Amino acid sequence: MKKTFGAFVLTSVLLLVACSTETEQKEDNLVTLQENHVPFELAIPSHFPDMVIPKDNPLTVAKVELGKQLFFDPSLSVDGSVSCASCHLPSKAFSDVLAVSQGVKGAVTERNSPSLMNIGFHPIFMREGAVPTLELQVLSPLEGETEMAHNIVLACERLNQDSTYRARFQEVFGQSATPFTLTRAIAAYERTLIGGDAPFDAYLLGDSTALTPLQQQGYALFTSDRLACSSCHSGVLLSSFALEHNGLKPRDTDPGLMRLTLNEADRGKFKVPSLRNIALTAPYMHDGRFASLEAVIEHYNKGGDGVTNQDERIRSLSLQEDEKEALLAFFDALTEASGKGE
Ligand code: HEC
Ligand code: HEC
């Protein structure tokens, strides 16, 4: 039976609470151990915001390495066929090329896999923003029936049967793989996925030649009152991370934020995506309904689908052809070298 979202939240809360009590007695050990470890220095560009690192999960070189190994390891899925990277492709800024991703045994997820570049700067996770930390988020794909379909306790048991993993978890956490240590390691790795080296960044940092004249025209349009794109796709990460309605007619099966609040006024509201690496992350929107950026621009140009709850900033724009080209050119300037897996 398909696990309901409510059941997921309940399991997650129970598990993480249980995990923290379990590990409390080992907390002193853990802190001493981590103090002896080489800290991982995040390369946060000067124009980026600070990243909030949870106190119980300081970044160390060994932990990030372990998290990376886990991220690419299909043995985390029930039948050993799917890893995190199966749906978050490093060459596509850690997003997927499919409209909706495929999990174990060809199961189909209901949403498009978002990019994980710069994910450590996000204040909330998932398309309706239901998950507050990267640590907690790991449970969702690991246990999701259409993703890895595993059980986190059994996944840890499997890891602990492997002597190399056992040794690495001991080295990093002073204990074996547990729901607590597994989720910490993966989240630590995810926080290291930082870009900030796109032509747009060079431009923001003062190199006025980093964007072509067409790209500069696109940026001006993007931030203009007429288009108002940057009122939602704001700041250096090009997202306010708010839950907004951008005029897409929602599918009956996915009411977005309303899934969380049960409030009709939230139907069709989704987390504003960062547009960094947008040229690499097709298809677009929560359900991958648009195959190209041209189609996305058409959506905004016509003023959305004209549905209930649609934000008033989504209105007919009457864009000229050269304006559409300028926007597309601007999107190209948002590609980070690390987003291409370089
Ligand atoms: C079967 C495909 C699939 C697999 C496997 C998968 N993901 Fe995802 N991931 C998705 C989809 C689809 C979403 C969007 C889910 C939603 O919003 O409900 C997502 C969302 C996320 C998010 C939230 C992104 C955001 O912008 O809010 C993070 C973080 C993430 N995944 C990390 C991981 C990690 C870590 C793993 C491995 C433990 C993993 N994913 C495995 C498909 C997958
Ligand atoms: C009212 C807030 C709002 C405004 C204004 C807005 N957007 Fe969006 N945008 C969103 C939301 C929310 C989504 C994600 C919807 C979803 O997941 O289905 C989105 C998605 C996108 C995407 C696809 C991102 C992806 O990863 O799939 C692009 C590209 C985009 N917007 C560009 C623009 C442009 C260009 C403009 C101006 C013409 C604009 N947006 C104006 C809220 C907004």
CATH code at 250?
1.10.760.10
Q: Determine the distance separating the centroid of ligand 2 and the alpha carbon of 240, expressed in angstroms.
A: 11
Beta bridge partners of 243: 271
Q: Are residues 218 and 171 in the same domain?
A: no
Residues of the chain with pLDDT > 70, as a percent, come to: 90
The more confidently predicted of residues 214 and 8 is 214
Tokens 């058409």, located at residue = 298
Scored b (16 or more CB within 10 A) or e, 179-217 reads: bbbbbbbbbbbbbbbbbbbbbbbbbbeeeeebbeebbbb
Prediction pTM value:
0.93
| Number of domains comprising the chain | 2
Range of the domain at 64: 5-191
**Catalytic residue IDs:** 147
Q: Determine the distance separating the centroid of ligand 2 and the alpha carbon of 227, expressed in angstroms.
A: 11
Q: Determine the distance separating the centroid of ligand 2 and the alpha carbon of 36, expressed in angstroms.
A: 44
Q: Exposed, middle or buried: residue 273 (CB in 10 Å: 0-12, 13-18, 19+)?
A: buried
- Please say if the pLDDT value at position 20 is more than 70: no
Q: Which helix (H) or strand (E) holds 176?
A: none
- Atom 22, ligand 1: residue with shortest CA distance: 126
- Determine whether the shortest distance from the Cβ of 138 to ligand 1 is under 6 A: yes
How confident is the model over 272-308, as pLDDT tens digits? 999 999 999 999 999 999 999 999 999 999 999 999 9
Ligand nearest to the Cα of 191, by number: 1
CA distance 304 to 249: 8
Q: Determine the distance separating the centroid of ligand 1 and the alpha carbon of 113, expressed in angstroms.
A: 6
The more confidently predicted of residues 300 and 14 is 300
Q: Are residues 95 and 170 in the same domain?
A: yes
Q: Are residues 31 and 101 in the same domain?
A: yes
- Atom 43, ligand 1: residue with shortest CA distance: 87
Question: Which atom of ligand 1 is found nearest the CA of 110?
Answer: 12
Q: Exposed, middle or buried: residue 321 (CB in 10 Å: 0-12, 13-18, 19+)?
A: exposed
- Determine whether the shortest distance from the Cβ of 328 to ligand 2 is under 6 A: no
Q: Are residues 241 and 162 in the same domain?
A: no
